Amino acid sequence: MKHFWRTYLSIQAALYTLEKTLSALLLLSIAGVVLAGTISRYILAEPWFGTDRLATYLFMILCFWGIQMASSYYEHIQIEVLSTWIKGRWRALLSAGAYGVSAVFLALLAVWGYRYLRLSAQQEEMDLVLGIPLWWAYAFFVLAMALSALRYLLGVGLWLKVWQGTLSPQAFQRKILL
């Protein structure tokens, strides 16, 4: 089982690089769309149709992608009131429980989001400006919540390894201030 966690963490590191690249491309795309819309509106005096809406969808995708990306290294805001009172191995057990609750919550969001996505697809809801199905945008929410739920579920296993004393939290948890 030790090999599983080592493999998981190495794959996670490689995926993180890919995810950061995709996030940078999304951000660059948003800037490009907004710049193109601004140039077309104020310099060419002929605004391009739908640039604001496209930038909004790209930003929404970037937000959901960022949520699941933060879950990949457990880079989230923590309220550490309880964890400061609890020391040693029991702190890792508390973290495992918190990650379990988070995984269940995120999985419920993914399931409910998927139900809404299916309903939207069945009703053939379309964006009136861009003419694209709205479920395309909703799919990124479902994907982000499902991936985050899976990662938090794996995080439970990682924290249990910390509780057993066979893994250090620094091996999978990043706490970096920007």
Report pTM: 0.78
- The rounded distance, in Å, linking the Cα atoms of 68 and 89 is 27
Match 């938090």 to its residue by tokens. 152
pLDDT of 100? 92
Cα torsion angle, 34, 35, 36, 42, sign: positive
- The rounded distance, in Å, linking the Cα atoms of 42 and 82 is 54
pLDDT of 177? 44
pLDDT of 73? 67
Tell me which residues of the chain have a pLDDT lower than 50.
177-178
Match 């999304």 to its residue by tokens. 26
CB proximity list for 94: less than 8 A, separation 6 or greater: 82, 83, 86
Tokens for 108, please give them.
Answer: 């419920």
pLDDT of 171? 73
pLDDT of 178? 43
* For the chain, domain boundaries: 2-171
pLDDT of 114? 95
pLDDT of 82? 63
**What is the SS3 string spanning the chain?**
CHHHHHHHHHHHHHHHHHHHHHHHHHHHHHHHHHHHHHHHHHCCCCCCCCHHHHHHHHHHHHHHHHHHHHHHCCCCCCCCHHHHHCCCHHHHHHHHHHHHHHHHHHHHHHHHHHHHHHHHHHCCCECCCCCCEHHHHHHHHHHHHHHHHHHHHHHHHHHHHHHHCCCCHHHCCCCCCC
- The rounded distance, in Å, linking the Cα atoms of 167 and 170 is 9
CB proximity list for 143: less than 8 A, separation 6 or greater: 64, 68
- The rounded distance, in Å, linking the Cα atoms of 146 and 112 is 11
pLDDT of 77? 56
pLDDT of 8? 80
pLDDT of 175? 56
pLDDT of 69? 80
